[in-house]
């Protein structure tokens, strides 16, 4: 009799384990599928003022007619970005330009872009910056 109860308990517990693991899998899938929405207004603020001790982009990338700019002017970047590297769309190119500036160096410019945005920016900061650059 005891043995039967034990087996019954094991079956019930086994059932629970399976259910729990299914539940966990579903939750994990939901988390990894979360897509962050870029906020261009916040991106503009990071571009102009910097964030988390990282230098502001505007220090090296002027907008509009200003004559001097250490890096390429950002006006029209949304158009140029898609054509810079074959096989890379606007989003991928902008992300790479921010996180790995040395991976592709724009002709006529030196490889002097601040290299540590990868450590300083959160994923939300990055999608906000990209959303802003896509309005330029």
Burial of residue 102 (number of CB atoms within 10 Å: 0-12, 13-18, 19+): exposed
Interface with ligand HEC (CB under 6 A): 55, 57, 59-61, 70-72, 77, 80, 84, 94, 97-98, 101, 105-106, 109-114, 117, 129
* Greatest alpha-carbon span in the chain: 91
CB of 69 to ligand HEC, least distance (A): 9
Closest to 100 (Cα-Cα) out of 117, 85, 88, 76:
117
Nearest to ligand HEC of 16, 105 (CB atom) = 105
In the chain, the N- to C-terminal Cα span, in Å, equals 77
Nearest to ligand HEC of 60, 63 (CB atom) = 60
Nearest to ligand HEC of 24, 103 (CB atom) = 103
CA distance 12 to 19: 11
CB of 114 to ligand HEC, least distance (A): 4
CB of 51 to ligand HEC, least distance (A): 8
């Amino acid at each position: 009799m005891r043995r039967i109860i034990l087996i019954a308990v094991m079956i019930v517990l086994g059932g629970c384990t399976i259910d729990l693991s299914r539940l966990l899998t579903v939750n994990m899938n939901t988390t990894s599928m979360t897509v962050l929405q870029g906020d261009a207004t916040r991106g503009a603020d990071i571009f102009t003022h910097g964030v988390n001790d990282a230098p502001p982009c505007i220090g090296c990338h002027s907008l509009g007619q200003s004559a001097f700019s250490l890096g390429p002017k950002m006006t029209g970047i949304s158009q140029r970005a898609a054509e810079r590297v074959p096989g890379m769309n606007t989003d991928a190119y902008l992300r790479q330009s921010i996180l790995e500036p040395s991976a592709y160096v724009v002709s006529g410019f030196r490889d002097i872009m601040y290299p540590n945005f990868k450590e300083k920016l959160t994923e939300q900061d990055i999608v906000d910056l990209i959303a802003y650059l896509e309005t330029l």
